[in-house]
Amino acid sequence: MKSIISRILDYFNAKKITEQYPKWEKSLSQLQKKIDYTFHDPTLLYAALTHKSYLHRHFEDHKTPSPFERMEFLGDSILGFIVSKELFTRHPDEQEGKLSKLKSKIVSETYLTLKAKAIDLGKYLLLSPEEQQSGGASKPSILSDAMEALICAIYLDSGISAATRFIRNHILNNYQETVTREELVNYKSILQEYMQSRNQPPPTYVTVAEQGPEHHKTFVVEVRWGNKLLGTGKGNTKKNAHQEAARMACQKLGI
């Protein structure tokens, strides 16, 4: 990974970026104050926040591994481990099933996006102009991945204790209130459990339309039970459209 990070820094130092990098570097000092953590090796922070779209735009070799994606991969595992350990300790009398559901909400894209927005993480990301124009700094997929990459950067810089402190302070803060927010309710799961409790087959989800340009699509999904239409939902991803359709179905069924 160091060789890839060095290539990024060589790019910056060669002044192929005119004013953007110095301003970015200054803003990252603000981020470190915000999260109450100062990097011993700032290159780890640079790498964690350099999105693959920016890297691929400025390096001709698109096969170059993206530090952002690699760090997101490791950060995901670190987050899962620490959240599991914290929930295990904080809820000594809770059943495994409920702990698993709680953990799945906390490590979900939606939850991490909420926490990333709380520290304005999107404004510190280095994105390609195309990704910026398409709203990349506020996309849940990018923000949640960036949060995981940041966790990895802290872990690589100072170890598991520092990563644990960050997760406690910025991921697990007010988690019991956060997981009850409307956008974190898994209506698909509620609907499926409702059907199972009545010995009925699970509902089916059908994408009936895709609207808008490729980079900003809206999906329309119907949830059906046999030939009966239970609900229709729209979303900027199929996953979100499924959830909205399930929410409408739950409302219709009174659950």
Q: pLDDT (tens digit, 9 = 90+) per residue, 89-145?
A: 999 999 999 999 899 999 999 899 999 999 999 999 988 888 888 888 999 899 999
Which residue shows structure tokens 């979303």?
235
Please report which confidence band the pLDDT of residue 87 belongs to, taking 50, 70 and 90 as the band edges: very high
**In a shared domain, residues 179 and 193:** no
Asked if residue 118 lies in contact with residue 150, where contact means CB atoms within 8 angstroms, the answer is no
**In a shared domain, residues 142 and 212:** no
CA 33 to chain centre: 22
Please report which confidence band the pLDDT of residue 21 belongs to, taking 50, 70 and 90 as the band edges: low
**In a shared domain, residues 172 and 242:** no
**Domain encompassing residue 216:** 187-253
Express each pLDDT in 151-183 by its tens digit: 999 999 999 999 999 999 999 999 999 988 877
Asked if residue 226 lies in contact with residue 253, where contact means CB atoms within 8 angstroms, the answer is no
Residue 216's CATH number:
3.30.160.20
Q: Nearest to residue 124, comparing CAs of 139, 143, 109?
A: 143
**In a shared domain, residues 171 and 196:** no
**Annotated binding-site members for Mg(2+):** 72, 145, 148
**In a shared domain, residues 123 and 237:** no
The b/e string for 203-213 (b: 16+ C-beta within 10 A; e otherwise) is bebeeeeeeee
pLDDT attached to residue 15: 43
Express each pLDDT in 29-77 by its tens digit: 999 999 999 999 888 898 899 898 887 766 555 566 778 898 999 999 9
Whole-number Cα distances in Å, 151 to 44, 100, 245: 11, 21, 33
Asked if residue 156 lies in contact with residue 163, where contact means CB atoms within 8 angstroms, the answer is no
| 180 phi, psi to nearest 5 deg | -90, 0
Which residue shows structure tokens 């124009």?
133
Please report which confidence band the pLDDT of residue 17 belongs to, taking 50, 70 and 90 as the band edges: very low
**Annotated binding-site members:** 72, 145, 148
- Tokens representing residue 136 in the block: 């990349």
pLDDT attached to residue 169: 97
3-state secondary structure of 204: strand
**In a shared domain, residues 24 and 148:** yes
Domain tally for the chain? Answer: 2
pLDDT attached to residue 18: 39
- The dihedral through the CA atoms of 74, 75, 81, 84 has a sign that is negative
Residue 167's CATH number:
1.10.1520.10
**In a shared domain, residues 241 and 152:** no
**In a shared domain, residues 159 and 194:** no
Asked if residue 87 lies in contact with residue 99, where contact means CB atoms within 8 angstroms, the answer is yes
pLDDT attached to residue 9: 57
| 191 phi, psi to nearest 5 deg | -65, -40
From 160, 184, 208, give the residue that closes a domain.
184
Express each pLDDT in 180-239 by its tens digit: 887 788 899 889 989 999 999 999 999 999 988 877 789 999 999 988 999 999 998 898
C-alpha span between 60 and 68 (Å, rounded): 17
Stated as kind and residue range, the H or E segment containing 220 is strand 218-225
Active site residues: 76, 148
Would the pLDDT of 10 be above 50?
Answer: yes
Q: Nearest to residue 50, comparing CAs of 68, 76, 31, 75?
A: 68
